[in-house]
Chains A and B, each alone.
Chain A
Amino acid sequence: MDGQLLSETFVELADTMVADFDVIDFLSVLTDRSVELLGASAAGLLLADPRGELRVVAASSEQARLLELFQIQHDEGPCLDCFHAGEPVAVTDLSAAAGRWPRFAPAAQQAGFAAVQALPMRLRSQIIGALNLFRATAGPFGEDETRIGQALADVATISLLNERSLRRSETLNEQLQTALNSRVTIEQAKGKLAERLHIDLDHAFELLRGYARSRNRRLSEMARAFVDDSEQLPDLTAAPLPSPRRGPLPGPPR
């Protein structure tokens, strides 16, 4: 555990939450930082939609996103168990988990993961989602890492609420739906940009996020303006950069 990185991460997350921030951008940063801090290979975050399903709102890679989706589609996996029980779930060796999750365990292994941990997002008595951490090597999850992982899951929960109306329980549902729809808008924007510049979707996301940050814009608002053509964003679409299939994570916004 890198103490310096840990404190920097929490300072970064706290700084972001003080200002008017974009929830999806924030949760994307949070999954990226979870990977760096906790020695994970990938991380994903699921939220419960009152429509009756879990939805992926952030993932550190497309691979992690697909694995989260796989759990939802097949209705099995550690993240779902964690969500239903409201308790952390840790699988130290996926090769021994085929009995518990006959479809998920092989799929996760095939994607290159050997261990997985799921931590609940709790708000009072309610479970609103879960944070999933995937690791390439088998072995137990450390106590410190688990505590910090849970703290990150708690920060993710808090980011969905704005302090103005914590007193009304309906606020969570308002914010949750807004966040879920922002995710949809961002996916639409990724598709549009990827098609225009002939790049892949991960790369398109990095360009959108970098563009929003460099102009101090909220990612979802900028994505919406791009998708519905309400703004011309020439710098965004003019200069395709080399497309690393899985590029390095962007630095924290300073």
Chain B
Amino acid sequence: MGDPLLALDDLAVHFKVGSTLGGGVHTLKAVDGVTLDVKPGECLGLVGESGCGKSTLALAIMGLVPPTRGHINLDGRDLMQRERLETARTVQMVFQDPYASLNPRQTVRRTLADPLRIHGVSDKAEVEARVVDMMAKVGLRPEHADRYPHEFSGGQRQRIGIARALILKPKLVICDEPVSALDVSIRAQIINLLLELKDELGLAYIMISHDLGVVEHVSDRVAVMYLGRIVEQGGWQEIFENPRHPYTRALIAAIPDPFHRAAVSARAKAKGEIPSALNPPPGCHFHPRCPLKADICVAQAPPLEAVAAGHRAACHFRDRRD
């Protein structure tokens, strides 16, 4: 089965912000021409900092935000032509904040059982069986079913969130910073859980994270976003050991590295601040902060082109091995 589960084709999501009276209407190009795909059972790591558009991309893939341009193809069909309920059974999401992502007035049982009922599972015994089964899979005990979110720790709440995302047996799960809001000592538990479930249930993931260590650990392929565009894309090992875009190198260089294991020297760090997504720099968006900046970078946005098999970078100097 070689067909991708998810295929994005030149996807753009633009928002109009501001008002005609108050300083004019501007276009926020949150996602500005993204082409990528995710194969069944694969984990795509999506890396980027604020303003890169990864959250908007996730919302677009979920069908919560309409694309301005381009296509989203989910499991063979265009997303816009699918039924809402059907899409819900195909792609789901795990949220970042375990404290805000659960309805405080619903028990665990109800949080997990309601979606089943909405999707037509009417047999009470079956609903109960699936709820108990999913709870066990994420490491919750049966007696937890009748408790409310505030009775659980952050890690447990995230487990509930994962159970909720998987109860409808989706094929693709978007994990939006699933461990950033958790205590450091329990992150490993959740990462291990996500990987186990991926193998056990044959899931594909889009793992959105700013933590490169996590991304390197879990991803099969990695895509790096900056101000709405994909700047580099490739297999995890290629990206981390042979990064070809200065921004990717800057991200890796920015990580504190007590053991000096990174493939990138400290000289690759980026300068300055991330520009506002409302007014990105012309040409290559990264040029104001790039150590390799040249005139062509201001004049022309570099296309995302191959550096090696399966490895693409959007940089005029992509062939430099610096």
Tell whether A pairs with B. Answer: no
User: Which A residues fall within an 8 A CB radius of B?
Assistant: none
User: Which B residues fall within an 8 A CB radius of A?
Assistant: none
